[in-house]
Amino acid sequence: MNSMTITILGSGSKGNAFVIQHESSIIMIDAGFILNDILFRMKSANIAISSIQALLISHGHSDHINGLSDLNRYASIPVYMTESLFLSSTGATSASPPAWLDLDKDRVIFFKEWNNISIGSIAVTPIPVSHDSISPVGFIMKAGNKKLSLVTDTGEISRAGKDAMKDSNVIMLESNHDNEMLWKSPRHFLLKKRISSTTGHLNNEKSAEILSEIISPNTSDVVLLHLSQECNTPELAVKSVMDRNRSVKDGAIKLHVARQNEITRIHVKSTAANEKE
């Protein structure tokens, strides 16, 4: 069937992994759980690991690459990442960790921001985001006549980034923390500063504001990602989006909240190109 299926194996500060399927093309984005956990989650979601044709990496923080090396060895899946992230993993530059990332170069394919990658029927464009790690990216995906944006781990989104996300049928966007909960939390001042900076994470308000700029008549689903378990609640994140976005409040757009330890699945049916949505 010419539809798109999005499976979130889990999202939050303890691990992130996503599977996108269109017809016979299946890609995975990030491998932020240890291998056994990825295998368990895939089995629960009824996805065969051998069906994954590409693994794309957003950035090198452990909650996005925890299972990467083991998965790469276990399933021989081609890994797509930026060259600078790979070089940092081999210690070829003086850049920050992950020095422990251990990948077979033959199975690594480098991508550049804004350059298209084609994996079967899915076209992916990595877009730069603003995060304190090496060459972090979000992904815009097109398959059939559907468009999906997946952007997490960013303190802000540039004008060009927002323009690229416009007209998405499905918008998956970080809504990391509630600002008040973050500042009241017992975390170290410097960590609070890091998280709330323009190279940290999007809070509920910023996320809701960005959504109001990019939601269009084409948008059918919005998925909030990477909620902090200590400094956010699904209710607060949902309220922020509903307060600012009437079409979400009215129910014209479905709002989903991805969880750390639950699988979220969204089916997006393709419509004829000339059919009005």
- Smallest distance from Zn ion to CB 258, Å: 12
Residue 244 makes contact with Zn ion by CB under 5 A: no
- Smallest distance from Zn ion to CB 208, Å: 19
Q: Nearest to Zn ion by Cβ — which residue?
A: 61
In sequence order, which residues have a C-beta less than 8 Å from that of residue 134 and are 6 or more positions away?
59, 60, 82, 84, 85, 88, 95, 96
Site string for Zn ion, 97-136 (x = CB under 5 A): ----------------------------------------
Residue count, binding to Zn ion (CB under 5 A): 3
Residues facing 145 on adjacent strands = none
- Smallest distance from Zn ion to CB 57, Å: 11
Indicate the residue among 62 and 218 with the shorter CB distance to Zn ion: 62
Indicate the residue among 66 and 240 with the shorter CB distance to Zn ion: 66
- Smallest distance from Zn ion to CB 30, Å: 8
Indicate the residue among 31 and 253 with the shorter CB distance to Zn ion: 31
Amino acid symbol at 136: P
Q: Are 233 and 259 in contact (CB under 8 A)?
A: no
Residue 63 makes contact with Zn ion by CB under 5 A: yes
Reading the block at residue 55, the tokens are 């693994």
Residue 201 makes contact with Zn ion by CB under 5 A: no
Indicate the residue among 153 and 221 with the shorter CB distance to Zn ion: 153
Site string for Zn ion, 142-181 (x = CB under 5 A): -----------x----------------------------
Q: Is the torsion defined by CA of 252, 175, 119, 124 positive or negative?
A: positive
Stretch that binds Zn ion, among 39-47, 63-71, 255-263, 266-274 (CB under 5 A): 63-71
Please pick, from the candidates 22, 41, 61, 256, the single residue that binds Zn ion as defined by CB under 5 A. Answer: 61
CA atoms within 13 A on the CB side of 83: 4
- Smallest distance from Zn ion to CB 58, Å: 8
Indicate the residue among 29 and 215 with the shorter CB distance to Zn ion: 29
- Where does this chain bind Zn ion (CB under 5 A)? 61, 63, 153
